[in-house]
Homo-oligomer: A and B are copies of this chain.
Amino acid sequence: MLRTTTCGALTLQNLGENVTLCGWMQNSRDLGGMTFIDIRDRYGITQLVFNMNDNVDLCEGARSLGREFVIKVSGTVVERSNKNKEIPTGEIEIKVSDLEILNTAKLPPFLIDDKTDGGDDLRMKYRYLDLRRNPIRNNMILRHRMAQSVRRYLDGLDFIEVETPVLIKSTPEGARDFVVPSRMNAGEFYALPQSPQTFKQLLMVSGFDRYFQIVKCFRDEDLRADRQPEFTQIDCEMSFIEQEDILNTFEGLIRTLFKEVRNYDLPVVPRMQYADAMRLYGSDKPDTRFDMQFVDLTDIVKGKDFAVFDNAELVIAINAKDCAHYTRKQLDELTDFIKRPQIGATGLIYLRHNSDGSLKSSVDKFYSEEELVRWSAALNTQPGDLVLVMAGGTDKVRKQLSELRLEMGTRLGLRNKDTFSALWVLDFPLLEWDEETERYHAMHHPFTSPKPEDIALLDTDPKNVRANAYDMVVNGTEIGGGSIRIHDRALQALMFKHLGFSTEEAQKQFGFLMDAFEFGAPPHGGIAFGFDRLCSIFAGLDSIRDVIAFPKNNSGRDVMIDSPSTIDEKQLKELKIKTDL
């Protein structure tokens, strides 16, 4: 090795030792005849000291170093007079006897520091410099530790990691598939997988019993919503199990991760029906770090000649504790918030429970004190609380109040990034009506099994068929989801029929899986976690971009390497492809 130790290792225990370090010149300070330099590597920072009185050439060499120069220094570990207790190496410094420049460096285009002056574009263009900064590098180390923990936990439970193919079959439905022209089979295309779903099911048919994979998946779609064209899943499947076994096994995984990676004791994960999540939070991924559940006021408020409520399908409210002091201006801000086009509400009603116990609403002319007491009772308000009420069509108003609830949670400081609250959401609907194509499509995917007792509803009331499907939500973000699968050819064929496939289409596309089901498929189910998202939550980040070493921007471009790009005519010719712009 060029070094004897790293820049994060030396303490008072090493006094007097002769050491050699390699790293980057972080900064330099001249004090009288002395020069102090911080040398940095992945493991830490160590202070180097040079003295004009000892060796003029050496000290001048040190003074000539530029920021981010790569150097190798040898010297003796000595005690520091001016100790820095905040870093492990802060009590020592190296009295340098030898200095070698391993490589020079141009001045970086932004500060290599925890807080940088580099904007997003610059950081992405020089991602290799951005990755030198502690917070970004620490995210990558966290990601590595997460993956190691996942593998250790699942291996300990007899799960086998199996690599499934990346070059797979394209689907006619694959509007979001990336396709890959084959040179050997010109005119034909592979697709990149959006998930290894069918392969892991085949592995269950093969008797693998417990499978997992940390695996790249691909989707060619609009990336604005903090997505990446390539993303990583923790993909898992088990045989001879029921939903309960999946929930226990993977709740164990997530709690183990929190313990091992964050030293955080995540409590037992509560479970909630999808229908209840929608009713109480207006969302299938509620942020349960705080309560503020919806209260249904519809029956209480109707019939008092207030048209907004009388015409509404649903009137619901939340209790924002200790917000009765909100000013007119603050209330207007909230109204503006819910009127934003993304939310699209038309108005907000409030009820103040003043500190003197009196009740004051924005609709006093329709509702008597006595009636407001009933609102207050329904929401269990205390003096000082503020009730926010919205009305409208059920689906719409729930979504709108859900946004307002999150906003109030943020304003009240109830969404701390270092607090974690997980939730299982169960019994999702099997089907979802798609306005655009005017047909049902699978809410999870077409391999999800319906609840046996709901199968009869497939013909009569499809939207009320519940699936054996579950999501895990942490802090209002869906981190994973899965289902008990269909393992029977006839039921799978029925599902495809309800999803609008002809028998021929279904057979052409998924015949290999349905055929496999005829050769002894075990009952099975599984789950997949979004690994990027999970890492970003663990890292306390709002975006996944900084848990990915080399991310793409919102246009799907890696600006650092200038990709994607045009390719030359020779390649196109070999692939027998014409681009037709």
Enumerate chain A interface residues (CB-CB to B < 8 A).
Answer: 1-3, 6, 22-24, 40-43, 68-70, 72, 102-106, 108, 126-129, 131-132, 137, 140-141, 143-144, 147-148, 151, 155, 160-170, 172, 174-175, 177-192, 198-199, 202-203, 205-209, 216, 218, 220-223, 229-230, 232, 239-242, 245, 487-488, 512, 516-523, 548-550, 552, 555-558, 560-568, 571, 574-581
Contact = CB atoms under 8 A, between A and B. Distances in A.
Given A167-B563, A209-B41, A557-B185, A103 B520 contact: yes
Contacts of A41: 207, 209
Contacts of A108: 519
Q: Is the interface of A mostly helix, strand, loop or mixed?
A: loop
A519 to B, nearest CB: 5
A567 B169 CA distance: 10
Contact of A165 (B129, B230, B240, B523): B230
Contacts of A216: 163, 166, 216
Contacts of A184: 220, 222-223, 229, 555-556
Contacts of A580: 576-578
A169 B207 contact: no
A367 to B, nearest CB: 52
A243 to B, nearest CB: 12
Contacts of A131: 202-203, 206-208
A577 B160 CA distance: 40
A212 to B, nearest CB: 9
Most buried by B among A140, A163, A198, A521: A163
A2 B137 CA distance: 44
Contacts of A163: 143, 216, 232, 548-549
A560 B511 CA distance: 10
21 contacts: A2-B523, A6-B209, A23-B207, A41-B207, A69-B520, A72-B240, A106-B518, A108-B519, A137-B206, A141-B160, A151-B151, A165-B230, A166-B192, A166-B218, A170-B565, A172-B567, A172-B568, A179-B567, A188-B565, A190-B564, A191-B563
Given A185-B556, A207-B24, A519-B106, A147 B169 contact: no
